[in-house]
Amino acid sequence: MTAAVLAIDAGQTGIKVRVREHDIVFPGIRTGEPLLPQLAAVTHAAIERTGAEVSVVSAGVSGLTTRESDAAALLARIDDAAVHEVILAHDSTTSFLGALGDTRGAVVAAGTGVVTLAVGAERVARVDGWGYLMGDAGSGYWIGREALDAVMREYDGRGPTTALRAVAEDRWPDLSQAYIHLQSDPERVSVVASFAAHVARLASEGDAVSQNITVRAGGELAHSVETALRRVRSEEVGEHFAACAIGGVFRSPQLREAFASHIAASEFDVTLVEPRGHGIDGAAALAGLAPQHPLAHAVSVAHT
């Protein structure tokens, strides 16, 4: 039996692993702990569970920092004689490869957070993905934060009435104390982001405040795509791009419509397309990425 590629799509909600015909899901990465030991442990567990002889480990990782993007260090931690190559990249890279493959364009991945990656003929541009404190415009967290702001504006008399208030009161009956409960909740990021689903539902039911938040979120996400494409476009006449929107935020029909409307009105020749695959497909594709590909500079590779 020939040696296999073990592909890893590592996110905060779960780590997906693919080797041969096996697809395995492990608990998500723990952001407060060193990353490389976690990836090495997942690699060992997957090899043990499947019995596969793995020669290449390729991983796309959420929130991968420059310091942690060290394929040689991961290869040393794996310490398996059969594994002779490790490929490591940020999950924006593998999301792009999974969704668009070897195509010029942009992929915006919006869940709790959001990151946009564009690839042109020669250049690559990443836009946002700066976390809930500094960025992630249009993300689930951003939408939830806008929802809670609207709730408290109504509570104070500073803003219009909204059905979102009842949703917040279901969680915090005394809204005057809601901020205390939220600030002390270790899961506050996911709690805030959970309000995005209510915004989508209430927007479809006609709540004007929810509709306004939804339309603005779609505009923010489209703005990131347009900005990324502007940074990678060439002087080539008639250059065409594909754009792909993935992640739970885009389950909202009104948000997706607002996003699509902005893209259609942009200065670019761009077509919205459905994703070809998922992040795990992109992680597997890392093993075949050509050295001259524009994304290659964003990938760390180590060999024995």
DSSP states along 77-88: HH--TT--EEEE
The pLDDT value recorded for residue 29 is 83
Considering the domain architecture, whether residues 115 and 260 belong to the same structural domain is answered as yes
The pLDDT value recorded for residue 180 is 97
Specify whether the CB–CB gap between 199 and 141 falls below 8 A: no
Considering the domain architecture, whether residues 107 and 200 belong to the same structural domain is answered as yes
Specify whether the CB–CB gap between 89 and 289 falls below 8 A: no
Instruction: Enumerate long-range contacts of 47-52, CB under 8 Å, 24 or more apart.
Output: 47/6, 47/19, 47/80, 49/22, 49/24, 50/19, 50/20, 50/22, 50/24, 52/4, 52/6, 52/19, 52/20, 52/22
Considering the domain architecture, whether residues 184 and 169 belong to the same structural domain is answered as yes
Considering the domain architecture, whether residues 284 and 250 belong to the same structural domain is answered as no
- CB-neighbour burial class of residue 119 (10 A; exposed 0-12, middle 13-18, buried 19+): buried
Considering the domain architecture, whether residues 62 and 127 belong to the same structural domain is answered as no
The pLDDT value recorded for residue 32 is 76
Give the start-end residues of each E strand in the chain. Answer: 4-10, 15-19, 22-26, 54-61, 85-90, 105-110, 114-119, 124-127, 240-246, 269-272, 300-303
The pLDDT value recorded for residue 246 is 93
Q: To 5 degrees, how large is the angle CA 42–CA 44–CA 45?
A: 65
Considering the domain architecture, whether residues 115 and 255 belong to the same structural domain is answered as yes
Considering the domain architecture, whether residues 118 and 20 belong to the same structural domain is answered as no
Considering the domain architecture, whether residues 295 and 255 belong to the same structural domain is answered as no
Number of domains in the chain: 2
Task: Provide the CATH number for the domain around residue 91.
Answer: 3.30.420.40
Considering the domain architecture, whether residues 67 and 208 belong to the same structural domain is answered as no
Question: What pTM was computed for the model?
Answer: 0.86
- Gap between the Cα atoms of 60 and 92, Å rounded: 8
The pLDDT value recorded for residue 217 is 98
- pLDDT averaged per 10 residues, the chain (length 304): 83 88 89 89 94 93 86 95 94 92 93 92 92 94 98 98 98 97 93 96 98 98 97 90 95 97 95 94 92 90 92
The pLDDT value recorded for residue 164 is 98
Structural domain range at position 163: 102-275
Considering the domain architecture, whether residues 181 and 49 belong to the same structural domain is answered as no
* Beta bridge partners of residue 126, listed in sequence order: 117
The pLDDT value recorded for residue 18 is 95
The pLDDT value recorded for residue 33 is 85
Considering the domain architecture, whether residues 209 and 290 belong to the same structural domain is answered as no
